[in-house]
């Protein structure tokens, strides 16, 4: 059985555009994942310590993986690109977050679904609204577009390539 889910992608170290595009390819080639769509890429102002701007986007997947196995797959892809977790909100070659997994609500020590900070982050909601504006958040019962409408997203600019 396949489950629809949403992930966020981000990078601000190295060749970020190439890293993100390659990640999309890796996800689409995974035997338990079907890439449904992905958003355009956005240049975004970073949160946290001084660092380069990010490139961010989102993707919709269908997967037969459990949420935990999908998370491990995402972490494995991060490691392929040299992701090292040094400081909270620090710069990174690749950041992959599991945002939504159908309408599942999950709260474990290692995984929280929906992602607990997604509704506060324009760099997540802008690209997610491009591909899933009508997806209803399982806790708030409001659409992604409803949540985006209440945020300031002037630091999020679509990358024109």
121 is catalytic: no
| DSSP bridge partners of 60 | 6, 37
Catalytic residue (one of 83, 103, 130, 146)? 83
Residue from 53, 85, 97, 103 carrying the catalytic annotation: 97
Residue 92 is among the residues annotated as catalytic for this protein: yes
* Largest Cα span, the chain: 43
Instruction: Report the alpha-carbon distance of residue 1 to residue 8 in Å, rounded.
Output: 23
The conformational region for residue 12 under phi > 0 = left, psi -120 to 50 = alpha, else beta, is: alpha
Dist. CA 76–CA 119, nearest whole Å: 25
Whether 85 is a known active-site residue: answer no
* Catalytic-role residue among 53, 79, 85, 95: 95
How confident is the model over 56-100, as pLDDT tens digits? Answer: 999 999 999 999 999 999 999 999 998 766 666 678 899 999 999
Specify whether 83 is catalytic.
yes
Architecture category of domain 3-158 in CATH = 2-Layer Sandwich (3.30)
pLDDT, tens only, 121-135:
999 999 999 999 999
């Amino acid at each position: 059985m396949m489950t629809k889910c949403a992930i966020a992608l981000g990078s601000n170290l190295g060749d970020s555009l190439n890293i993100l595009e390659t990640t999309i390819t890796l996800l689409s080639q995974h035997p338990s994942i079907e890439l449904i769509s992905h958003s355009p890429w956005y240049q975004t102002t970073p949160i946290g310590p001084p660092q380069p701007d990010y490139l961010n986007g989102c993707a919709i997947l269908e997967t037969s993986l459990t949420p935990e196995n999908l998370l491990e797959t995402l972490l494995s892809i991060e490691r392929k690109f040299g992701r090292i977790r040094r400081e909270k909100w620090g710069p990174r070659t690749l950041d992959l977050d599991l945002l939504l997994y159908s309408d599942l609500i999950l709260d474990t020590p290692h995984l929280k679904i929906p992602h607990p900070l997604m509704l506060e982050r324009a760099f997540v909601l802008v690209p997610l609204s491009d591909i899933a504006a009508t997806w209803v958040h399982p806790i708030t019962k409001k659409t992604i577009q409803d949540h985006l409408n209440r945020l300031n997203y002037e630091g999020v600019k679509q990358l024109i390539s």
